[in-house]
């Protein structure tokens, strides 16, 4: 498989890992859009949120729990935003499910 996030999850491509367990990996985004910009991905290759099935319920919960943990660990006590871009029109640029954790500045609404 030629998925960059799969390669990061398996260690084939180096990244600044901030969390890893049997199901989930989190790392700093290489193109940050906020002072703190972290990515949380499942080790399992799932192309997008649209491809998440009922059988992934526990994994989806784990992704959210890890997103909250890495936000706390990064000191984002004043707040943060989580984003899941899905599909081309949703702004997804890597075909592997991932959560963005953004913080360290005031977030505005609507996001764009």
Give the residue numbers marked as catalytic: 98
CB-based contact 108:73 (threshold 8 Å): no
Residues of 57-95 as b/e, b for ≥16 C-beta within 10 angstroms? eebbebbeebbebbbeebebeeebbbebbeeeeeebeeb
Distance CA 40, CA 17 (A): 10
CB-based contact 99:63 (threshold 8 Å): yes
Helix (H, G, I), strand (E, B) or coil at 64: helix
């Amino acid at each position: 498989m030629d998925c960059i996030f799969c390669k990061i999850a398996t260690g084939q491509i180096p990244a600044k890992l901030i969390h890893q367990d049997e199901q989930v990996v989190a790392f700093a985004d290489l193109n940050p859009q906020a002072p703190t910009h972290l990515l949380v991905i499942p080790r399992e290759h799932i192309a997008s949120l649209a491809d998440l099935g009922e059988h992934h319920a526990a994994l989806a919960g784990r992704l959210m729990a890890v997103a909250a943990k890495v936000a706390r660990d990064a000191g984002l006590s004043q707040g943060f935003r989580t984003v899941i871009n899905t599909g081309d029109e949703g702004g997804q640029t890597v075909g592997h499910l991932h959560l963005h954790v953004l913080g360290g500045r005031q977030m505005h609404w609507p996001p764009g």
